[in-house]
């Protein structure tokens, strides 16, 4: 949970830098202009810095309620922070700056544990019985890896969870076990096969699979650049994976 305070400071720094360069967050980046206009390229850099810092804050905010479990005196401060979260969507950079300063002042009065509380990701409620135990076992392993800081292992387990669910979804849709004829089919090809059967998924799933594959293929293709996810990235990937699993079998 100390990550929340650290990421608030990072967001403040990103916003302060944008203010010093007179960046207007409400104006869209002109991609074509970036090719020959350094100022437009610079503008993109500062806007992206703010956007990325915001993503980490949003991810951290999902764990704020754990601070109440740790210490009930945190309840008022946590509620105030959660009430301010929507204001972080403001494109008015001065409003955004004031909101961040308020949140930092509130966070300073919270009682944080010296050591981060153990994170427990729950298994989705709606999972077919024939794969339920396998999914639960992988999620239990995923929780151990996450709390031990083994984030590459977390990403690989996300891939395994998706594979198990997608194979089951293909069987549910076609009545055929694709592993019998194509045991080495990759996640991307499996998604494509399901799309052919009019099974649609969130467009972001393709990006998720790309990141998973970046971790997997490094041990085989030495020239590939390894992907080393940090805690926030691993947390976001797990939440997305579990969200996909929860929706996949919902009628």
pLDDT digits (tens, 9 = 90+) for 235-246: 888 988 888 888
* DSSP result, 88-122: GG-S-HHHHHHHHHHHHHHHHTS---SSPPPP-PP
15 pLDDT exceeds 50?
Answer: yes
Q: For 123-159, what is each residue's pLDDT tens digit?
A: 888 888 899 999 999 999 999 999 888 888 998 899 8
Residue 218: pLDDT band (50, 70, 90) is: low
Burial call 21-57: b when 16+ CB within 10 Å, e when fewer = eebebeeeeeeeeeeeeeeeeebeebbebbeebbebb
Task: Tell me the average pLDDT across 189-198.
Answer: 82
Residue of 219, 176, 215, 169 whose CA lies nearest to 195: 169
Reported as a single tens digit per residue, the pLDDT across 74-91 is 999 999 999 999 999 999
Residue 236 structure tokens? 């976001």
Listed in order, strand segments (DSSP E) in 165-230 are none
Q: Sign of torsion, CA 89 92 95 98? A: positive
The answer to whether the beta carbons of residues 58 and 84 sit under 8 Å apart is no
- Count Cβ atoms below 10 Å from residue 85 Cβ, excluding itself: 14
125: exposed, middle or buried (Cβ count in 10 Å: 0-12, 13-18, 19+)? exposed
- Of all residues in the chain, what percent are helix, strand and coil, respectively (each to 5)? 70, 0, 30
């Amino acid at each position: 949970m100390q990550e929340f305070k650290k990421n608030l400071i990072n967001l403040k720094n990103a916003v302060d830098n944008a203010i010093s360069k007179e960046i207007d967050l409400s104006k869209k980046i002109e991609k074509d202009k970036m090719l020959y206009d350094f100022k437009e390229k610079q503008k993109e850099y500062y806007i992206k810095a703010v956007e990325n810092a915001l993503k980490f804050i949003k991810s951290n905010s999902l764990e704020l309620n754990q601070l109440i479990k740790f210490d009930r005196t945190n309840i008022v401060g946590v509620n105030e922070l959660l009430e301010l979260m929507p204001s972080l969507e403001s494109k008015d950079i001065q409003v955004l700056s004031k909101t961040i300063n308020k949140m930092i002042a509130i966070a300073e009065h919270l009682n944080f544990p010296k050591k981060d509380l153990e994170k427990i990701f729950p298994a989705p409620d709606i999972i077919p019985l024939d794969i339920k135990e396998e999914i639960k076992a992988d999620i239990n392993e995923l929780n151990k890896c996450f709390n031990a800081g083994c984030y590459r292992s977390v990403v690989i387990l996300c891939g395994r969870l998706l594979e198990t669910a997608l194979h089951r979804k293909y069987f549910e849709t076609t009545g055929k076990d694709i592993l019998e004829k194509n045991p080495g089919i990759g996640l991307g090809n499996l998604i494509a096969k399901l799309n052919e059967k009019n099974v649609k998924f969130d467009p972001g799933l393709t990006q998720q699979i790309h990141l998973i594959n970046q971790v997997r293929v490094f041990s085989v293709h030495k020239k590939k650049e390894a992907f080393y996810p940090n805690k926030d990235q691993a947390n976001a990937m797990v939440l997305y994976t579990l969200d996909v699993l929860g929706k996949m079998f919902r009628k």
